[in-house]
Structures are given as structure tokens and as C-alpha cells.
Amino acid sequence: MTGAIPAAASLYERVRRVIPPIEWPAFTDDIDAILALKRERNAVILAHNYQTPEIFHCVADIVGDSLALARKAMAIDADIIVLAGVHFMAETAKLLNPHKTVLIPDVAAGCSLADSITPADVRLLRQRYPGVPVVTYVNTCATVKAESDICCTSGNALAVVESLGAPRVIMLPDEYLARNIAAQTRVDIIAWKGHCEVHERFTPGDIRELREAHPGLTVLAHPECPPNVVAEADFAGSTAAMSEYVGRIKPARVVLMTECSMSDNVAVEHPEVEFIRPCNLCPHMKRITLANIRSALEQNRHVVTIEAQIADRARQAVERMLAI
């Protein structure tokens, strides 16, 4: 550390609306250590929108949805990338930065969607639907991406599906994302049966109860929610699209039908908007903490590796998506 005032002290003003003063001292030591380690090791931290505010607003260099993190990962000028998010996001960063060290602070930060499908499942689907292109959500392992024609995120899924010019596509592994996209296109979509364990729990009844309890409420939903939830929402979009909607429309009262930290992170930017807070926690995203980000930088762990042959094929699917 240089100077008498710790860097963390000047950051509290940014997060004081979402982190109570009594909790803040528990974070400052790790924040100062991480800021120093980033400089020493020429490292950058990429953080997903579901990371907690002390990570998202106090130590991250690049934040966003899966698409933004992938795009921004292509232009990183640093030796080390720490991915504050889940494992598939760290793999995507590694695919796009094969010669850099990519670290994930907890290797067990998985995803129920990534766990719902294997490479053998994709090969079976291809056998069953010969010639039908495979669009794979980025929420999958590199081994599954390697079996795919192109990737998509919740932010570009419709554009990716329509870019193929095919009458029919296989879209995996998220059944609800696939059905939500099918409702917006003439392309015939064959879905898989994976679900996000966080978003599948929202129901249309939740939305009705919230609207009754909070008159004038604007409801935003992630497209991993079931289609009957999306149908009752005022807007559906990726985490970045929901954040952008709040900034543009500035609704008086809003609920984000998604992971809990999202509201905190967006609320920091928009003090004039009232956020209603029923939400569901993602246990995988919550495995990432300031303490394990610090250990990751101190001990150079956990290094993300992808077998070269898999990486070459998976990278093609990601790069095709990014070219759209």
C-alpha cells in the first residue's frame, strides 16, 4: 500500500446504499490487498453482473453480462485474468486468451445449465437431426461448445439463431431460453431440457402478487425464466439489457426477476429508482468472494486449462458468435 489512506476507504461512498456501514470493515483489508496485487501482478478482474457489490463495484476492472465479458476479454492487455463468475465464463475468457493465465477463485463455481448436457448428448442430437445446426448457449463446458456450430448468450440468441438462415436449429441446453426465442422467430427450434436452477423458480403467481403489493411496478425478467413468467413481465433481456432498461426508462419501482446481487449492483447507479427485492441466489456465483479472489492472486490459483484440440473447436464456436 502507498500513502496513509487505504484505497478501500475512498470506495465506500460508491456502495454505501447497498452495504451497511457495520459490514464494510470486514471487506477493506481484502479490497486493499487485491488492488495492490492487481498492480503487482499486472492482473485484471472480470466480474459478472451477479457478483456481490464489494466485488463488482470495488475490485472489478471489467463488468457485464456473459456477452460483454466475452467481447471485452478479447482486448485485454494484462498478464493475468481473474474471472469473478462461474467456470464456463472463465473457460470462455481462456478460449479467447490462450496465452494468458486465467484464474477462477473457486473451481466449484459451476452452473446447472452447464451440468445438464454432455458432448455425447450433442452428438446424439446431431445423429437424430442430421444437418440441423447446433446453437449452444455459452453456459456450457468447452467440451460441449466444441461439438457446436456456434454459441449464443441471452443477449444475442435471437440474432444468432436468425443469422444461420436455416429453417430449423437445435438450441441447447436451456429449454426456457429456447422456448422464449422460439416465440420471437419463425425458425423451428429444437430444445434440450436443461434449466437454470435460479430462474426456473420464478412463477407468474410471483409477478401477480408483486404487482398487487407494489402498484405501478415494472417487472423485468431474464430469458432463462419460464416462458409464462416472461409473458407476464414488462421486459425480458440479458442482465446487461435489464440494467440498460433501468438506466434508460428509470421506472419509479422495479423488480428484477433474476439473481439477487443484480439489483444491488444496478441500484448503486440509480438512487432514484426503488428496487423491490424478491430474488433467487445463485449458489455458484456466490462461491466467489473477496477472500478467494485475494488467494487466487496471491497463490496463482486456480489456473484454467482447456485441452488444445477441444479449445480449437470450442473457440471457433465462440468466435463465430462474436463475429455477428
What are the residues binding ligand SF4 (CB under 6 A)? 86, 111-113, 139, 196-198, 224, 259, 282, 284-285
Binding partner of 284, given ligand SF4, ligand 13P, none, CB within 5-8 angstroms per partner class: ligand SF4
Q: Which of 27, 176 has the CB closer to ligand 13P?
A: 176
**Pairing between β-strand 80-84 and β-strand 43-48 as defined by DSSP bridges:** parallel
Q: Minimum distance from CB of 227 to ligand 13P (Å)?
A: 16
Q: Which of 38, 284 has the CB closer to ligand SF4?
A: 284
Q: Minimum distance from CB of 318 to ligand SF4 (Å)?
A: 17
Contact string (CB under 6 A) for ligand 13P, positions 48-87, x = contact:
-x---------------xxx--------------------
| One-character DSSP codes across 273-302 | SEEE---B--TTGGG--HHHHHHHHHHT-P
Give the contacts of 293 (CB within 8 A, at least 6 positions apart): 30, 34, 45, 55, 59, 82, 84, 105
The Cα–Cα gap between 120 and 62 comes to 35
The Cα–Cα gap between 57 and 162 comes to 36
Q: Minimum distance from CB of 71 to ligand 13P (Å)?
A: 12
Residues paired with 102 in a beta bridge = 81
Residues paired with 188 in a beta bridge = 168
Q: Minimum distance from CB of 283 to ligand SF4 (Å)?
A: 8
Q: Which of 132, 318 has the CB closer to ligand 13P?
A: 318
Query: Residue 113 CA to chain centroid, in angstroms?
Result: 12
Pick the closest to residue 105 from 152, 153, 48 (CA basis).
48
Q: Which of 27, 202 has the CB closer to ligand 13P?
A: 202
Q: Minimum distance from CB of 319 to ligand 13P (Å)?
A: 18
Binding partner of 148, given ligand 13P, ligand SF4, none, CB within 5-8 angstroms per partner class: none
- Any contact of residue 224 with ligand 13P (CB under 6 A)? yes
Give the contacts of 263 (CB within 8 A, at least 6 positions apart): 256, 275, 277, 279
Binding partner of 34, given ligand 13P, ligand SF4, none, CB within 5-8 angstroms per partner class: none
Q: Which of 30, 65 has the CB closer to ligand 13P?
A: 65
